[in-house]
Structure 1
Amino acid sequence: MKKYTYVTLRQKPELKEAAAAWFHDKWKVPQEAYLACMEAYLNHETEYGWYLCLDDGRIAGGLGVIENDFHNRKDLAPNVCALYTEQEYRCQGIAGQLLDKVVKDMKLKGITPIYLFTDHTSFYERYGWEFLCMVQGDNEPDMTRMYIHR
């Protein structure tokens, strides 16, 4: 199995622009929004960070932690957001490694529990996440699943 490098954006701040463009490409959230969150993290204004899986410097996967991932339950914070693994890197444990890294990092910083807003079922349970409740997405008619990691 291939060995990948897992880093925080603080460990590789030179990737900020590329990471913001990569996340924007995957989720269509404005690149400026990613840059603002990343700048706050890099400037130590928040401990909510950005995590990347690199394959020889290429972003193979990533995720972030933000206050709220576009839902109506503002009390359920912080949220893991924007988890994505490139198609050719899927089924290699990258998402699980990223989730494990973020959970451990947040716990080390005394930030617990953390939450995750998703329409996926069964995937996150494999990594210790528990279904918490259904929440309303911003500008969405349907309810979506909220998970917690304690």
Structure 2
Amino acid sequence: MKIIAVHEHPHLVESAVQFFWEQWGNEQNFRFYQDCMIHSGTSGDGIPRFYVGIENEEIIGTYALIRNDLNSRQDLHPWLACLYVDPNSRGKKIGSRLLDHAIEEAAKLGFKKLYLQTDLEGYYEKYGWTHSGEVYGADGGAIKFYEKCAGLLHH
């Protein structure tokens, strides 16, 4: 699997927008994903960025580094979002590879930590993420948030 930044491969933007939106969007917000991805990688700190994992010319996984995952902790960034592995490709450590890549990319961009929010139980702990508390959405609901030090991994 190759992991690539969508903004560095303009020919992939259309299919990447479609893939992200199908996994994470709804009927009303296709334009939200499209506009985010068209403008990704252009700011001074490089955020937001969208990544796809590709195997045999097919997108099989995704993640994004974003400024905020629409939660109350506006003071923390960047956030890992949209981690997804196609069901036919699960069980092959692709999620782990995408998480490692995200940490490396955050470090390359100069960030000391990476954050995420999730309602999954036990998944991110397996990869060294620390449950650091709760964040709140605009609807007032709480969700767990995690953090991990960003540093180049040594394999």
**TM > 0.5 fold call:** yes
Q: Tell me the residue number matched to 1:79.
A: 79
Which residue of 1 is the match for residue 13 of structure 2? 16
The answer to whether the 8 A contact 2:7-2:38 is kept is no
Shift of the 9–35 alpha-carbon distance from structure 1 to 2, 3 Å rule, reads: same
Q: 5+ unaligned residues in a row in structure 1: which ranges?
A: none
Count of matched residue pairs? 146
State the 1:58 CA deviation: 0.8
Q: TM-score, normalising length from structure 1?
A: 0.88
How far residue 41 of structure 1 moved from its aligned partner, in angstroms, is 2.1
How far apart are 1:12 and its partner, in Å? 2.3
**How far apart are 1:37 and its partner, in Å?**
2.1
> What amino acid sits opposite 1:8 in the alignment?
A
The runs of at least 4 aligned residues of structure 1 exceeding 3 Å deviation read: 42-46
SS at match of 1:41: coil
Q: Distance in 1 between matches of 2:140 and 2:96?
A: 28
2:120 matched residue in structure 1: 120
Matched letter for residue 126 of structure 2: R
Counterpart in 2 of 1:145? 144
Query: One-letter code of the match for 1:132?
Result: S
Describe the superposition over 1:108-146 as per-residue Cα deviations: whole angstroms up to 9, x where unpaired.
1211211101001211122221111111123253x2110
**Equivalence map 1:131-142=2 (5 Å):** 131-141=131-141
AA aligned opposite 2:100: D
Amino acid aligned to 2:72: N
Separation (CA, whole Å) in 2 of partners of 1:105 and 1:19: 19
Answer yes or no: is the 8 Å Cα contact 2:68–2:77 preserved in 1: yes
TM-score, normalised to structure 2's length? 0.85
Give the SS at the match of 2:76.
Answer: coil
CA contact (8 A) 1:13 1:42 kept: no
Q: CA deviation at 1:14?
A: 1.2
Q: What corresponds to 2:152 in structure 1? A: none
Pairwise CA RMSD of aligned residues? 1.7
For residues 10-60 of structure 1, the C-alpha deviation after alignment (integer angstroms, 9 at most, x for no partner) is 342211111111111111152222222222224455512111111111110
Which letter maps to 1:138? A
Task: Kindly provide the amino acid, as one letter, of the partner of residue 63 in structure 2.
Answer: L
Aligned equivalent of 1:25, options 22, 27, 36: 22
State the alpha-carbon separation in 1 of the partners of residues 108 and 77 from structure 2: 17
